[in-house]
Structure formats: structure tokens, C-alpha cells
Amino acid sequence: MTRDAPTGEHIKRKAMKAELLDAETERRLACAWRDHKDEAALHRLINAYMRLAISMAGKFRRYGAPMNDLIQEAGLGLMKAADKFDPDRGVRFSTYAVWWIKASIQDYVMRNWSMVRTGSTSSQKSLFFNMKRVQSRLERDAAAQGAHLDGHQLRQLISSEIGVPLRDVEMMQGRLSGADFSLNATQSTEEEGREWIDALPDDAPQAADVVADRQDRQQVREWLLAAMQDLTERERLIVRERKLRDRPRTLASLGNDLGLSKERVRQLEAAAFQKMRKSLETQSGEVHQFLV
């Protein structure tokens, strides 16, 4: 009998008994970890939201991964979120942590789903986790209208629906429908024949490209933070809620909170973007896609 199951059950029971943090306590704990590396504060913050991580892990059981492993990966994502969370941005930790937890679980599922790895680009992730659902819906809609979709038409519709290149759809469809085989098998019947693995191109980015990309991202982040400082508190709130959330707020929703009309919020948003655009032009000499 495996000894892994009790571990998962123990984590679940402990998570269900954890405290529920109010916004002020959550912010105080996050500041203590960010500013003073207070491990007790970090431990308390993570324990409070472990139930969220477990809940999200449960949604990925259909991919065949052990629940204990999914919970562990969800926990890793939660810890990454706690390490990178900025309590001064005015966003609840749970909202921020959801993205990191989901990303960690998805990476694990895609790494372990098959001996033939599917990769982990954003396009491949979208296809892996959504293609079958979208395909079933498209086929149902076509059948309801008395139409028939051939393979090429279906792949084109999936490409448009998910927003990924057609070639990625074709590649993922082949991977999901094909069986695993050894890459160490030879390409011919001869014993000295070349193995299939020798024919695979190395698509990994070069070290110089990785460093340059990291530096560029850091520079853009610094420019954006500097541009945000030129805004009023209300403008910063609108930009955060409209552009920096996983699920952007609507103009009407923000208007209700601020006591303003939807049109007035739109005007404030446009004014804030104009200020940021001028700041970015001054710093970098160009307008970044963030504001397009």
C-alpha cells in the first residue's frame, strides 16, 4: 500500500482548519515577508490560502496525475506567488496567487502527461487544456445547423477560437491522438542506424537571448512603474483594475465603486494612458504595446 495518500489527506485536513485572513491582516503578513523576510508571516500567509491551492489542484485530476503531486505543485505555485506578491498594488493575494498556482499545475501536467513532451508555450498550454472542449462545442454547433466539418475546417475554427496558429493546432492534435514511442529507436532496421532523438532540433533559446530578454523585461517594468507614479491615485486605481488584473474590471463596475458614470471612467482611463504614453516616450523613445 502506498504511503503517499495519507500525506495528501493530512494536507487537506490542515488546510480546511486554517484561518481566513481579512485584507488588513493579509497585507501586514505580506509586508512582513517582503520587507523583513519574516518566515512566520510567510508560513501563516501560505497556510491560509492552501485550501485555494488544493481546490485548484482538484480541477486537474482528469489528466491522470496523482492528487498528491498536483497538491504539491499547487503549493509550489502558492509559494512563488507569496515571494513575488507586492501588497502595495491594492490587489488581494488570492487574486494574484491564482495565476501562479494554475501555471505551476499546468506546467507539471504537461511535463508528465506523455513521454513525448508537448512543450509549455502559452499557445501549447491553451491548446492542451482547451482544444477538446472547443472541438466538441464546434462539432455540436455544426451538427445543430445540419452542417459537417471536415478535419481542415475544424482545425481552422479551433485556431480562430483559441487564438493560436493553425500549425500549432495540427501539431497538438497529432500529439494528443498519437501513441508514445521511444526516441531511442533507430530510424532504420540496421543496428547502427541513427536514433530518432538525433534528428530533433534544439529549440531552446540561446543564453545570450535569455539574458537580453530578461534585461528588456526588467527595463520595461521599470519604465511602467515610473510612468504609474505620474498618475493620480484614482488614475492608478483605474489602470490597475483595467490592465493589471487577470480579469479586468468593466467601466460600469469601476464607475459604481467610484461614484462616477461609465463615460467618466472611460475619460479618466484615456487621460491616464495619455500621461503614461508621454512618460514612456520620454524614457524609451517609443510607445509600448501595453498602451496600444
Each domain of the chain, given as residue ranges in start order, spans 4-112, 122-192, 207-282
Give the pLDDT confidence score for residue 45 in this predicted structure. Answer: 92
Greater confidence, 118 or 230?
A: 230
pLDDT range class, residue 286, cuts 50, 70, 90: very low
Give the pLDDT confidence score for residue 131 in this predicted structure. Answer: 79
Q: Is the pTM of this model over 0.75?
A: no
Collapse the DSSP code of 260 into the 3-class scheme (helix H, G, I; strand E, B; otherwise coil) and give the result: coil
Give the pLDDT confidence score for residue 287 in this predicted structure. Answer: 42
pLDDT range class, residue 38, cuts 50, 70, 90: very high
Nine cell digits for residue 169: 493546432
Mean pLDDT: which of 40-44, 103-107, 137-141, 168-172 is highest?
Answer: 40-44
Name the DSSP class of 163. T
Give the pLDDT confidence score for residue 65 in this predicted structure. Answer: 79
pLDDT tens readout for residues 98-118? 999 998 888 888 777 654 444
Q: How much is the average pLDDT of 214-225?
A: 70
The answer to whether 160 and 168 are in contact (CB under 8 A) is: no
What class is the 207-282 domain?
mainly alpha
Give the pLDDT confidence score for residue 284 in this predicted structure. Answer: 54
The answer to whether 90 and 235 are in contact (CB under 8 A) is: no
The one-letter amino acid code at 175 reads: R
Give the pLDDT confidence score for residue 155 in this predicted structure. Answer: 84
Q: How many CB atoms lie within 10 A of CB 141?
A: 12
CATH of domain 4-112: 1.20.120.1810
